[in-house]
Amino acid sequence: MIEINSFIWQFSIYLNNILSLKATDIVKRSYLRYLFILLDNFSIWAPRLTNHLFTTGAITLKNKNELKILTNKIRADYETYYESIRNKLSAHHQNIDLLLLIDLWFNIDYTTISILIDDIDSFYREIANHCNIEHPDRTNDNIFINNPLLNGDKTEFYINPGRLGIATKNSGAMIPCHYTQEISSIAYSIADLIDMQLCLYYDNDKNSSYFLFVLKCLIVNDVISFIDILFNDSVYIKSLSTAWKENSNSGYIELEQTNRDVNFEDLLRNIRNKLCSHIDDSSDIYDNIEILENIEIRNIANYASFLINLYNKACAREIRSCGFIFNRTPLKEVLGIHQPEYKNFDDTNDA
């Protein structure tokens, strides 16, 4: 239990490094989605640690009540404002009204992230007075973002039919008019996130251990979400395969007839459920970290590429879906895109 809480403390503190990173808003927002996964785990494991310390006599009732005030505040904020970010944009990619989605995405900003990290840090600093919890390493990773479109050195205007297109700077967006288009737009945005995160991963090396660990967790989560949106119906949304089949879009044939690597998908889904999206106490957290580290990023990237190519091939079968092919089509001769409702990640720096 202490190890799990130490993990949450370490990686929440680490995310402070991203706030000052020279990167575009979408890079920061996509990466900092991980904090909302940590918040979900915090809401489970921090109260358990508090209760454990009280029942073992490590803290007094007064200490327990003071710690409970801190955890209740963070949990209330999470459940009221931020749980949807985890469920709709991070651990899962569930369907949601477009305007609400944009509001959630823009809530991932400098001020929100700073406050949430400080709240988590305050709790664990107090806990550290009563138990032998490992203090976080507050040193910076060596993070490199060489792609000028991701570090902000170059501006390019492009068409983005994904559901985050309307909330992405310098992109021409598409508004879905049918539920098959809504599902396609979710698939496109997931593919876009996977592609960008793999680019960031390959820009860095093993010295950027924390940075790469978080990226790998996010990539695993997004690959599983991509598999689900293509193939698996849920209580929240139909799969693209089902939606296309219902509407006589022949793209479903490509999806149904493909030969998937179910064993590899099960491997990714298992570690997603035990570490990347949830922290499961049925097995040791360090064992799960080792399992994740032993999955070659090359293999994840190859399978993600297979899935994205399959999605593109399926989209290309009909004119109704070919607009959702993932290829980041540039808008030539465009000098600017008017986005009056756009909210910068850091409004204190209007950049």
Per-residue pLDDT tens digits for 152-182? 988 889 889 999 999 998 888 888 999 999 9
Contacts of 266 (CB under 8 A, 6+ apart): none
Domain borders along the chain are 2-127, 148-324
What confidence score (pLDDT) does residue 351 get?
Answer: 39
Closest by Cα among 63, 114, 107, 112 to 88: 107
Closest by Cα among 248, 231, 253 to 183: 231
Q: Are 74 and 39 in contact (CB under 8 A)?
A: yes
Determine the 3-state secondary structure of 345 from DSSP. coil
Identify the residue whose tokens are 């991932």.
108
What confidence score (pLDDT) does residue 350 get?
Answer: 45
What confidence score (pLDDT) does residue 320 get?
Answer: 92
CA distances from 221 to 19, 32, 229 (A): 22, 14, 12
What confidence score (pLDDT) does residue 348 get?
Answer: 58
What confidence score (pLDDT) does residue 218 get?
Answer: 98
What confidence score (pLDDT) does residue 335 get?
Answer: 80
Residues (pLDDT < 50) of the chain are 350-351
Q: Which residues pair with 158 in a beta bridge?
A: 171, 330
What is the 3-class SS of 175-195, one letter each residue?
A: CCCCHHHHHHHHHHHHHHHHH
